[in-house]
Amino acid sequence: MSDSPLRFCIVSTFYPPWNFGGDGIYAHRLANGLARRGHRVTVLHSPSAYEMLAGGPPKGAYHDRDGVEVHGIPTPLGSLGLLLTQQLGYPCLQAPALRSMLHDGAYDVIHYNNVSLLGGPQVFRYGRGLKLCTLIEHWLVCPTHVLWKFNREVCTRPSCVRCQLIHRRPPQWWRYTGLMRRATRSIDAFIGPSLFTMRMHRERGIRGRMVQLPLFDSREGVPPAASRRQNDGRPYFLFVGRLEKIKGVQTIIPTFRETPEIELLIAGTGNYESELRRLAEGAANIRFLGRASRADLEALYRDATATVVPSLCYETFGIIVAESFCASTPVIVYAQSSLEEIVRTHGGGLMYRTPEELRAALNRLRETPGLRDRLGREGRAAYDAEFGEEPFLSHYLDVVYALLEEKRAGSAAAQARDGVAMLAGRPLFE
């Protein structure tokens, strides 16, 4: 059975180009990677959700290879229909289209991504086949999706109603019912990008089998990095990502201001950019590059002394870390959540918790002969074993076939209990 092609359905609120961040990119990479291996993939997504939040249709286009069939599920009444789903956790006006596609699709595997505005948790009950759900964000256990409390700190004790009001989001009443507990019983396995994220969901009440598989970086369609030297050949450290408060760039700018001999290049845009530019004003060693193409990012990663990842929030996974590892470039990460887990498990970088520790890490990489190359080799080894498309898809399909065999054999569902075991060689909570 492990060689037989399968029919997958990926259900995701966002899918490129109707997409803002990593959840849609992951869905796109997964769909096209599976198709490249000969599987048939149907994608269901919500153009209405993207257009409501973005204020209009997307610009640009994404390519999907043969074997990927994409369906946008419309939401009648637009914003009102989406608000009903957000409030009630049910597909509501989307239900007829979703029910038709999922019940009639005869899929071997239904893989849910972030479906917060495409049916809510109730959509887990639709359709047949093996059902997986990636814990790509914390939307199952957090109304703001990021466990960022009061827009100022990580959430260690929930205060959801007040937090939603501060984030200017309407409270989601379905979270105070038993809907989550009932709906998640339909999921055969949750895919956790990190052990940390699996623990966060377990501690906040999600039960059922959880299998650890990282997110992954795909090189398909990426042109070779430019041969020219970046930053006029001068050494530099690099930040890549959305310029939002939770990404923590404001916490590293003072350190670079105080050490003008160390340069920082910032690639990305976002809602917090104007504040970050104000903080860096007058610092000639800090440069904002704006949005960079994938080819430009390849060159930026390759030539950097290290990539700095200062995220203040609980990251479910560090895709920037994986991209840096691909270029054999080490990372310097703020030591919490999945970022700490990756470096402690695989090496490939340094960690810090205070400005003094950050400054020490920057200086170590600049001044210690051979350290950058050694850490870069560790990172590349981790990429080749875990974070690249080929190793990820091999591990993912091993898990899928093992779960299908178990399901088709009529095995009883695993009972929720504390502890870590293994499934197809992958860490498993159940």
Give the pair of three-digit tokens for residue 344. 């402690």
- In total, how many domains does the chain have? 2
Cα gap 49→94, rounded to integer Å: 12
What does the pLDDT look like over 278-314, one tens digit per residue?
A: 999 999 999 999 999 888 999 999 999 999 999 999 9
Q: What is the pLDDT of residues 35-58, one digit of tens each?
A: 999 999 999 999 999 999 999 999
Q: Is residue 99 part of a domain?
A: yes
Mark whether 348 and 295 lie in a shared domain: yes
Provide the token pair at 215.
């997110």
- Given a cut of 60, is residue 4 above it in pLDDT? yes
Within a domain: 316: yes
d(CA 92, CA 89): 9
pLDDT above 50: residue 415 = no
Residue 222 in domain: no
Together in a domain, 173 and 266:
no
Q: Which residues contact 47 (CB under 8 A, 6 or more apart)?
A: 18, 57, 72, 73, 74
341-368 pLDDT, tens digit each? 999 999 999 999 999 999 999 999 999 9
Which sign, positive or negative, has the C-alpha torsion 45, 48, 54, 56? positive
Which structure tokens are listed for 128? 């047949």
Contact 215, 193 (CB under 8 A): yes
Same domain, 127 and 256: no
- Is residue 1 a part of any domain in this protein? no
Q: What pTM does this model have?
A: 0.93
Note down the domain range covering 146.
Answer: 7-216+393-429
- 171-223, pLDDT tens digit by residue? 898 999 999 999 999 999 999 999 999 999 999 999 999 999 999 999 876 66
What is the three-class DSSP state of 82? helix
Peptide bond into 17 cis (omega under 30): yes
pLDDT of 418 reads 55
Same domain, 301 and 182: no
Q: Which CATH number characterizes residue 302's domain?
A: 3.40.50.2000
Strand duo 189-192 + 130-134: pairing: parallel
* pLDDT, tens digit (0-9, with 9 covering 90-100), for 70-109: 999 999 999 999 999 999 999 999 999 999 999 988 999 9
CB 347 within 8 A of CB 335: no
